[in-house]
Amino acid sequence: MAAEENVVESTDFPVKENNENGISSVIPGWFSEISPMWPGEAHSLKVEKILFEGKSEYQNVMVFQSSTYGKVLVLDGVIQLTERDECAYQEMITHLPLCSIPNPKKVLVIGGGDGGVLREVARHNSVEKIDICEIDKMVVDDEFSHDLLSLTGLGVAFLKAVPEGTYDAVIVDSSDPIGPAQELFEKPFFESIARALIPGGVVCTQAESIWLHMHIIEDIVANCRQIFKGSVNYAWTTVPTYPSGMIGFMLCSTEGPPVDFKHPVNPIDENDSQSSARPLKFYNSELHTAAFCLPSFAKKAIGSKAN
């Protein structure tokens, strides 16, 4: 009955049989997300129809209609967002920083060409100016976000040209540190952000998963600890279509009025929001505080350096 010595023919996932966007020719009609960033596992979504497919100056861009997650935006074969669960990522990456300071006025978004973060920033009545730097014009123009955005730019270069102390908050909505977003995980970039922020200003960056990339997270935390003299914290949220089903954020503040990220001082009331198009689906003040509670294994690895 037991097949104890039944050795399965163990091959690599047939990446070469997927096209560059991850559409599988092995499993017709399914998209499979395969990457050296998460070896040995793959998440697949059933495709109803490809809505956009192209190769930009920086990356492969695809939007498809999925069977059960709505429209899906894919960059270089990696899912960036789906209509069904984008609320978790967009609301958390935006409101964790903006609800932690009393009166955000000037906000810079780096990446985020899909427009979701902009939609969330616009809920804050205090915000007077939003700048956005998206490296890839095609992401802005694609079928997912073409009616949301028209402004693009290069985050790293843009930050260098910005006068010191310009922004109350910077949100870095980047893809993984393989490909065009690599610089957004390195120390010089964090130094530019710190320079561009007012005293007591805040930054929130996409910071990978504690289940998959603890070594990357430890490096980011160590860098941030050197650069941001206010506070350095790690938070996380559930996002079903991201690898390991979750994603983390680094939340840091510059020297100045102290920022206690765990206790939001600027709660957002959905009834009171400028953007009445759609109520908040995910974020609330209790979840804000809970997002900073880490499993013990993660607390041990990064807790002495943050939180």
- In contact, 33 and 77? CB cutoff 8 Å: yes
Comparing CA positions, the residue from 169, 128, 167, 146 lying closest to residue 274 is 128
**Region of 67-75, 108-116, 128-136, 170-178 interacting with its own copies (CB under 8 A):** 67-75
Count other C-beta atoms under 10 Å from residue 35's C-beta.
16
Burial of residue 235, with CB atoms counted within 10 A of its CB: 0-12 exposed, 13-18 middle, 19 or more buried: buried
Rounded distance, CA 235 to CA 215, Å?
Answer: 16
Question: Which residues 113-172 are close enough to bind its own copies by CB under 8 A?
Answer: 143
Of 133, 283, 301, 302, the one binding its own copies (CB under 8 A) is 283
Rounded to a whole number of angstroms, the CA Rg of the chain reads 20
CB 25 → its own copies: shortest distance, Å?
10
CB 299 → its own copies: shortest distance, Å?
7
Residue 173 designated active-site: yes
Rounded distance, CA 1 to CA 13, Å?
Answer: 29
User: Which member of 85, 114, 142, 173 is catalytic?
Assistant: 173
CB 247 → its own copies: shortest distance, Å?
10
Question: Which residues 261-280 are close enough to bind its own copies by CB under 8 A?
Answer: 280
**Region of 6-14, 153-161, 178-186, 187-195 interacting with its own copies (CB under 8 A):** 6-14
- In contact, 130 and 122? CB cutoff 8 Å: yes
Of 20, 41, 255, 269, the one binding its own copies (CB under 8 A) is 41
240 binds its own copies (CB under 8 A): yes
CB 286 → its own copies: shortest distance, Å?
4
Structure tokens at 13: 């996932």
Point out the residues that are catalytic.
Answer: 173
